[in-house]
Structure 1
Amino acid sequence: MSTVDPQETPGRKLRPARTNATRQRLFEASMELIGERGAAGVTVDEIAAAAGVSKGSVYYNFGSKSDLIAQLLRHGVDIMLGRLQSIADPDADPLDAMEAMLGQAMDFMDEYPSFARLWVSENWKTPNEWGQLFAELRGELIAVIGSALESVAAKYPVDTRVARGSLEAAMFGAIFVVGLDRQTYNPERTKEQSVAAVMTIMHGYVLR
């Protein structure tokens, strides 16, 4: 049966509600396929088929596969940023807040494992057509971690020999590596155990 929708034929614009629903299906289908096989291993036809829409809908909503992936990355990071920022509480102990933030990050990994794999598989490729976008999105995530570290340093004595940029990068990398390791090789490991492992970085930074 054809997946072409009368509302999606060339020259006709989708109604807003249908457009949003179509884009969401495309995001979810793309995240799953690309996360599993990498951007180069997935075709627009496969994305459209998995989303249950016409091939023309992919181009209508995103312009190209490259644009779709760029928006997929943006979409995933926006979700993750929302999760990390949701625990902001000026009255909370900053170490407790950091632990809660890591818990949110692990929950995100559990809910969007394909996005995490996409991030790791595509981020380090060179040359990378999304290199500038990766740098921008990484900067946004690093900034949230940096703000949390600022709060820790404001309350506790910390090891000033540790370069802050390197510390933020270590936290950021550990979130993805520990989260993906749990999903891929150690599904029996609990979220709390994964969070505790990443928090050892903080225990080394804070002087007790």
Structure 2
Amino acid sequence: MSPKPERTSATKQKLFDATLRLAGSRGMVGLTVDEIAAEAGVAKGTVYYNFGSKDGLIDALLRYGVDLLAARLRAAEAAVGPWDTVSDLIEGMLAFFAEYPTFAQLLVSELWRTPGQWQQTLSLLREQVTAIIRAQLQYLTDSGDLPEGVRVHTAAAALFGTVLVVALDWQVFDPEQTREEVRDSVLLLVRGLRGKV
């Protein structure tokens, strides 16, 4: 009998939250499965049964975190206008990174570190997120709302990287700003490149 999907999802969420709590205070390298399981309130055997090893757990949790982020970005696709969609994409990323600041730190520290233990997984996951952003920017390009010559692939990576770093900077150095103020600043920067304020 296989585990129920809702139980598996709840266990993944517990493990995800526990790993991020521990990584936020100690980093990823020294974490053990025992510590993660204890922090999550699950049996160590549950971790090994579902993930095989600590590396398997971390890999699955990275994928889970990006799936959560991608779900928020997909929700933005329901916005009415193209700039509303971009605003909602920025809002979704900022909200996610505010909720999971350690995940943002992990992305920054591991994604561009070469060679990194989870760099290959993170690169694939980065592609998943930037593909959602690219689709919306392509729509803006096709409707003439982005300057001619903007390379959508590069612009999507730039928007993702900008929001990721801005979210960390906001959390660490400027936490008195509201998320709306941060979002509006990023959106004004993006629109300002075309002269739309």
Q: Normalised by the size of structure 1, how large is the TM-score?
A: 0.83
- Contact kept in structure 2, 1:123 and 1:131, CA below 8 Å: yes
- Contact kept in structure 2, 1:162 and 1:205, CA below 8 Å: no
Question: How much identity, in percent, do the aligned residues show?
Answer: 42
2:67 to 72, 78, 82: 78
- Where does the alignment leave 5 or more consecutive residues of structure 2 unmatched? none
- Contact kept in structure 1, 2:130 and 2:156, CA below 8 Å: yes
AA matched with 2:152:
R
How many residues of Structure 1 are paired with residues of Structure 2 in the alignment?
195
Aligned to 1:43: 32
2:114 to 126, 142, 162: 126
Measured after TM superposition, the shift of residue 178 of structure 1 is: 0.8
Measured after TM superposition, the shift of residue 106 of structure 1 is: 1.1
2:172 counterpart of 1:171: no
Measured after TM superposition, the shift of residue 33 of structure 1 is: 1.4
AA matched with 1:174:
T
Structure with higher Rg: it is 1
Q: Normalised by the size of structure 2, how large is the TM-score?
A: 0.87
Query: 118-127 or 168-177, which moves further after superposition?
Result: 118-127
- Contact kept in structure 2, 1:171 and 1:201, CA below 8 Å: no
Measured after TM superposition, the shift of residue 158 of structure 1 is: 2.9
- Where does the alignment leave 5 or more consecutive residues of structure 1 unmatched? 1-12
Alignment CA distance shift 1:36-1:156 (3 Å): farther
Measured after TM superposition, the shift of residue 87 of structure 1 is: 2.2
CA distance in 1, matches of 2:42, 2:171: 30
CA distance in 2, matches of 1:108, 1:65: 24
The CA RMSD over aligned residues, in Å, is 2.2
AA matched with 2:62:
L
- Contact kept in structure 2, 1:70 and 1:133, CA below 8 Å: yes
2:76 to 84, 87, 107: 87
